[in-house]
Structure 1
Amino acid sequence: MNQEVEFIKLSPTQNMTILVKSHHFNGDYQQIALRMMAYDHVYAEQVGFIKEPKDVNADGHLQMAGNEFCGNACMSLAAFIAHQKGIEENGISHLSIEASGAEELIACQVRKVEGDYKCRIAMPLPKRIEPRVIEYENTYVHAYSVEYEDFLHIVLEVDQVNEEVKTAAEALARSLERSFPETTLIGVLLYEKVRSYLAPLIYIPKLNSMVWERGCGSGTASIGAYLAFLSKQRISAEIKQPGGGIRVFGEYENGFVRHLQIEGTVRIVAQGKAFVTV
């Protein structure tokens, strides 16, 4: 059956994001998302669906196709809501977003700058950060796991991101699915500490989607949590990525990361109607 899908396409640090504005059955979300993400369709790295919020204090509700949490998609929705409300140049809007994969409302600050939207949002805090020795394909990898309620990130420090390391990261992401069968998202974060550079691999088992993202908001937050955990102090750092930089702010207190925020720029690039067969 053909469905007309109204959408808006945004670029948060070139992590191309489609937000679906029209209403569809939840059971069709995965197929709609996979089709729209395809190279021969609208083409993006991820798809979220805008729904009516349940909380009266929320300005919007974001439901990702794989039920995962996505920081860049939250920034995208905040930018879109601010745009709809008519935010003026250099104006600031404070919003709260309900989001899949997050138990609490996500606080967002949006400022319009030269037609783009500078967004800062509070991020979910990890439940634990710990060193791990991971075995896969007869190889042992020393890494840190950053575990959240519904998703997992693995931080791997590397000297240089290259194709060999990326191929190994893809195999690692798939192998972790067996150890964490309930997780909605597995991220393998290749981090070059010397130049503060991140290559984020995001694997969503439910969609069988594996993407080397050009910019990852939740991955940036996990790098910030990792750095705060190692240094045992407050951190502020710009994490360079293929699509540009995202800044992260983190605070450490009494053995835990207590506060995480990311800040990036969102650009609205297109809106229209797509046609999807489900």
Structure 2
Amino acid sequence: MKQEIDFIKVNPTQNMTILVKSNYSVEKYKDIASKMMAYDSVYAEQVGFIAKPANKQAAARLQMAGDEFCGNACMALAALIAAEKGLKQNDLTEIVLEVSGTDSLIMCQVKKTSDEYYCQVTMPIPKKIEQKTIKYDGNDLNIIIVRYQEFIHIVIEVDEFSKTVREKAQSLAKLLGVTLGAGLIGILLYNPDSYELAPLIYVPYLDSMIWERGCGSGTASIGAYLAWKKKGEIVAKIKQPGGTINVFATYDIEEITSLSIEGAVGIVAQGKAFIDVNQNNIVR
């Protein structure tokens, strides 16, 4: 039997995100997300579920389907909450979110423009950044490992985003997904000359691997890497297939001390999806 699922589809830098309002048990998130992300359904790169927060300071909890953290989904939910509050053009509001994949509350600043929302989001600080040379595919590969509480990003500097480079990145993501046991593996192909990023996000639990058109958390990791490399403050505009995301990072006394991103968000659709869901797992 088909079940109606209330959703909003949001566009943060073309990283198409579905936010689900329907209240289902966590055990069904994977199934619901997989079906809604499919080409023959609502179709998007990721799904987040809106839930009640445990912390009273937060306006809502964002629970990603793979229990990962997602910066763009934070911007998406913040924009939605601002819209529902009736934020007027050129007005500014601050929204606090509780988000999967981090113990820290996420502060979102939202400004309404003529036809979209401009969001700045505080991001989790990496636990560690380190440079390593690994043997991969018979060659030495220089990588930067950006470690977080629940996920790992690998920064690889490249001259081009060729098919061969992308295929190797996909194989590496699969390998690391098996060996590291992280909830999310991001392979961030970065051209330092042009400030271009091609982000590959792999969520082992969902077996979801996507070349994202825009990646908020990946942009934050690039910013953290650049600040770590410079040993100081950076402000950068990181170009991605779906547009540009700005990143701000500060470094002091051997660690990243602040990290935030900002970008444009559009609310593009709202409605009901019809998918098969086990009725025993519905929580009303």
TM-score by length of 1: 0.98
Q: Deviations over 1:52-89 (max 9, x none)?
A: 11111101110000000000000000000000000000
Give the Cα–Cα distance (whole angstroms) in 2 for the partners of residues 134 and 170 of structure 1.
Answer: 16
Counterpart residue number, 1:104: 104
Residues in 2 aligned to 1:83 and 1:126: alpha-carbon distance in whole angstroms: 31
Q: Which letter maps to 1:176?
A: L
Partner Cα separation in structure 2 for residue 171 and residue 237 of structure 1: 29
Q: Distance in 1 between matches of 2:172 and 2:140?
A: 11
SS of aligned partner of 1:227:
helix
Q: Is the 8 A contact 1:87 1:112 kept in 2?
A: yes
Deviation at 1:129, TM superposition (A): 0.3
Q: Is the 8 A contact 2:19 2:77 kept in 1?
A: yes
1:142-182, Cα deviation, whole Å (9 max, x unpaired) = 1100000000000000001111100000000011123311x
1:189 equivalent in structure 2 = 188
Corresponding position: 1:32 with 2:26: no
Task: Give 1:231 deviation, angstroms.
Answer: 0.5
Question: Which shows bigger deviation, 246-255 or 133-142?
Answer: 133-142
> What amino acid is aligned across from residue 205 of structure 2 in structure 1?
K
**Are the counterparts in 2 of residues 136 and 175 from structure 1 also a CA contact under 8 Å?**
no
Q: Map of 1:103-182 to 2, 5 A cutoff? A: 103-181=103-181
Aligned length: 277
Q: What residue number does 1:267 align with?
A: 266
> C-alpha distance in 2, partners of 1:32/1:187?
23
RMSD: 0.8
Contact 1:146 1:222 (8 Å CA) reproduced:
yes
State the match for 1:22 in structure 2.
22
Work out whether 1:47 is the aligned partner of 2:47: yes
Q: Which runs of 5+ in 1 are unaligned?
A: none
Which residue is equivalent to 2:203?
204
Provide the rounded CA distance (Å) in 1 between the counterparts of 2:92 and 2:147: 32
**271 and 132 in structure 1: CA distance in 2 versus 1, 3 angstrom threshold:** same
Aligned-partner SS, 1:140: strand
Q: Please give the alpha-carbon distance, in whole angstroms, between the structure 2 residues aligned to 1:127 and 1:230.
A: 16
Judge which range, 50-59 or 244-253, deviates more: 50-59
Is the contact made by 2:223 and 2:249 (CA closer than 8 Å) also made in structure 1?
Answer: yes
Cα deviation digits, residues 85-143 of structure 1 (max 9, x gap): 00000010101000000111100000001120000000000000000123333333111
1:121 partner amino acid: V
CA drift of 1:25 comes to 1.7
Measured in 2, the distance between the counterparts of 1:13 and 1:245 equals 7
SS for the counterpart of 2:102 is coil
Percent of pairs identical after alignment?
A: 54
Q: Distance in 1 between matches of 2:247 and 2:73?
A: 16
Q: Equivalent residue for 1:94? A: 94
Report how far residue 4 of structure 1 moved. 1.2
- Stretches of structure 2 that go unaligned for 5 or more consecutive residues are 278-284
1:134 and 1:76 mapped to 2: Cα distance? Answer: 36
Letter in 1 for 2:191: E
